[in-house]
């Protein structure tokens, strides 16, 4: 048997890009031979094994053919007769269809040349058989955009064909969210959405985001005008401020309500903070977004304009905001909330480098208000609701007092 390092590990090695996972393909072996050498088979539908010591994945060389059954809708054929070239042909992009062993690089589809040319290109017409590849390609575009990578015109044409055929509607919600979540963790996640929009896929899988493009905002507050452009700028700022995909998701979705504003009301978007909750909840339910993401996104959507006006808010209102975002129970949630709001403020043309004192003030107000506890009120003989009311009143007094010295 012959063993080759394949896929992403080879690609990233040639790019000098950090890579965690290593996958191997085994040519000329049977299931029985792998088991005899101590490998542990995982999955019943296709022959993938874990190395007995390193636990790295080793897969028998295989071909795939689209069908109505089998793994992810594909019939898998693994045999000692399947060549390395045949195995690599089933892969999505040329840069992912290279293999490496002690004898050197095996590159039958021009992956190394596409790496040098910085092009994301399909391996074969089989690319069109799996609609998930549209999202995967968009994610790779987001990962390598800072290096100058672009999508090949012919591949973009394939993606448009796949969208037009209705293929993307068959994608399982979990797979869509998985790719989106990974994309939010890339260096340039806005490129993921740009690529999907260019091929028409954004309107199919994320219509709530697609609806933002072409919707104008007040030029006084948004010199960039277009709400979709603003959303991508906010996402870029979120990347600069935080590595958290949770924060980035909240930044991405904060203005969904503007996509629901009737055209006759443009460029005003009165009440978009509340109107958008319907669209957000529909997206969350459809994609089965984890609660951690949904919770912060709702809080940022509903209260981001309160945050922007924090310097003007009365102490009672400011305290209500702190309570609503869960600051006193989970201080880390306040920090996530403030980062997403700061990204919104800076995600505007000409505002990218401006300070955001609102976040500093809210942090200060919270730190001081959080020092107020129940102990002194219990000593006074208060019970139940009386204690909660007393804590709130004292916190309001504290916020009022420090505001007089803070500004």
Percent of the chain with pLDDT over 90: 86
Q: For residue 132, what pLDDT is reported? A: 96
The tokens describing 26, both together, are 């085994």
Return the CATH number of the domain spanning residue range 131-201: 1.10.110.30
Its sign, for the CA torsion 56, 61, 66, 70, is: negative
Q: Which of 89-98, 210-219, 223-232, 375-384 has the lowest mean pLDDT?
A: 375-384
Phi-psi region of 366 (alpha: psi -120 to 50; beta: other; left: phi over 0): alpha
Beta strands in 155-234 (DSSP E): none
Give dist(CA 118, CA 329) in Å, integer: 47
As a whole number, mean pLDDT of residues 140-154 equals 97
pLDDT value for 69: 40
Confidence of residue 71 (pLDDT cuts 50, 70, 90): very low
Q: What are phi and psi of 171, to 5 degrees?
A: -70, 135
Q: Is the pLDDT of residue 226 over 50?
A: yes
> Can you tell me the mean pLDDT for 251-272?
97
- What letter does residue 216 receive in the DSSP assignment? B
List, in sequence order, the alpha helices (H) in 201-324. 201-205, 207-210, 227-241, 245-253, 272-287, 291-308, 315-324
Give tens-digit pLDDT for 2-32.
999 999 999 999 999 888 888 999 999 999 9
Q: Are 132 and 173 spatial neighbours (Cβ–Cβ below 8 Å)?
A: no
Interval 290-299 mean pLDDT: 98
In sequence order, what are the residues at sequence separation of 6 or more whose Cβ sits closer than 8 angstroms to the Cβ of residue 127? 92, 133, 155, 158
As a whole number, the mean pLDDT across the chain is: 94
**Cβ neighbours around 365 below 10 Å, total:** 25
What is the Cβ-side half-sphere exposure of residue 93, based on CA atoms within 13 angstroms?
Answer: 31
Handedness of CA 216, 185, 25, 47 (dihedral sign): negative
pLDDT bin (cut points 50, 70, 90) of residue 68 is low
> pTM for the full model?
0.92
At residue 131, the 3 state secondary structure works out as: coil
Q: What pLDDT, on a 0 to 100 scale, did the predictor assign at position 72?
A: 53
Confidence (pLDDT) at 182: 97
Backbone angles phi, psi at 226, to 5 degrees: -70, 130
What whole-number distance in Å separates Cα of residue 299 and Cα of residue 301? 5
Residue ranges covered by each domain of the chain? 1-109, 131-201, 207-310+328-350
Q: What are phi and psi of 235, to 5 degrees?
A: -60, -40
Instruction: Judge whether 142 and 186 are in contact, CB under 8 Å.
Output: yes
Please state, for a pLDDT cut of 70, what percent of the chain lies above it. Answer: 97
pLDDT at position 333:
96
pLDDT band at 176 (very low <50, low <70, confident <90, very high): very high
**Most confident of the ranges 21-35, 38-52, 337-351, 375-389:** 337-351
Q: Under a CB-based contact definition with an 8 Å cutoff, are residues 340 and 254 in contact?
A: yes
Confidence of residue 1 (pLDDT cuts 50, 70, 90): confident
Strands 74-78 and 62-71: antiparallel
Query: What is d(CA 55, CA 49) in angstroms, rounded to the nearest whole number?
Result: 8
Q: Are 233 and 348 in contact (CB under 8 A)?
A: yes
Numbers of helices and strands, H then E, in the chain:
19, 11
Residue 76's pLDDT band (boundaries 50, 70, 90)?
confident
Which CATH number does 1-109 carry?
3.30.460.10
- Asked if 279 and 289 touch (Cβ cutoff 8 Å), the reply is no
Q: Is the pLDDT of residue 403 over 90?
A: no
Residue 215 binned pLDDT confidence (cut-offs 50, 70, 90): very high
Residue 64 phi/psi, 5-degree rounding, is -135, 145
């Amino acid at each position: 048997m012959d063993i080759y390092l394949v896929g992403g590990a080879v690609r990233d090695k040639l790019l000098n890009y950090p890579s965690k996972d290593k996958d191997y393909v085994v040519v000329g072996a049977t299931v029985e031979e792998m088991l005899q050498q101590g490998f542990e088979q995982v999955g019943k539908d296709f022959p993938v094994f874990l190395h007995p010591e390193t636990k790295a994945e080793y897969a028998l060389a295989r071909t795939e053919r689209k069908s109505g059954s089998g793994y992810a809708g594909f019939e898998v054929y693994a045999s000692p007769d399947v060549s390395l070239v045949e195995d690599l042909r089933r892969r999505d992009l040329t840069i992912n269809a290279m293999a490496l062993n002690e004898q050197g690089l095996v590159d039958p589809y021009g992956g190394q040349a596409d790496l040098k040319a910085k092009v994301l290109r399909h391996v074969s017409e089989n690319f069109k058989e799996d609609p998930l590849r549209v999202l995967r390609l968009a994610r790779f575009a987001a990962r390598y955009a800072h290096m100058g990578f672009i999508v090949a015109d012919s591949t973009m044409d394939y993606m448009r064909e796949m969208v037009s055929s209705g293929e993307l509607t068959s994608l399982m919600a979990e797979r869509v969210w998985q790719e989106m979540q990974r994309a939010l963790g890339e260096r340039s996640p806005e490129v993921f959405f740009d690529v999907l929009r260019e091929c028409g896929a954004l309107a199919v899988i994320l219509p709530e985001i697609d609806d933002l493009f072409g919707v104008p905002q007040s030029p006084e507050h948004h010199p960039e005008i277009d709400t979709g452009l603003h959303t991508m700028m906010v996402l870029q700022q979120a990347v600069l401020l935080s590595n958290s995909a949770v924060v980035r998701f909240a930044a991405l979705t904060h203005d969904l309500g503007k996509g629901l504003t009737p055209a006759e009301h443009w460029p005003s978007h009165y009440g978009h903070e509340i109107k958008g909750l319907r669209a957000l909840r529909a997206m969350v339910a459809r994609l089965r977004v984890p609660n951690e993401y949904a919770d912060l996104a709702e809080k940022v959507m509903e209260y981001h304009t309160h945050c922007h006006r924090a310097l003007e808010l009365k102490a009672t209102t400011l305290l209500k905001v702190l309570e609503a975002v869960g600051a006193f129970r989970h201080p880390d949630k306040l920090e996530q909330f403030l980062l997403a709001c700061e990204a919104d403020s800076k995600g505007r043309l000409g505002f990218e480098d401006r300070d955001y004192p609102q976040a500093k003030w809210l942090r200060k107000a919270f730190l001081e208000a959080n020092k107020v506890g129940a102990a002194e009120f219990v000593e006074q003989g208060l019970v139940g609701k009386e204690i909660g009311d007393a804590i709130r009143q004292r916190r309001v007094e504290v916020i009022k007092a420090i505001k007089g010295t803070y500004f």
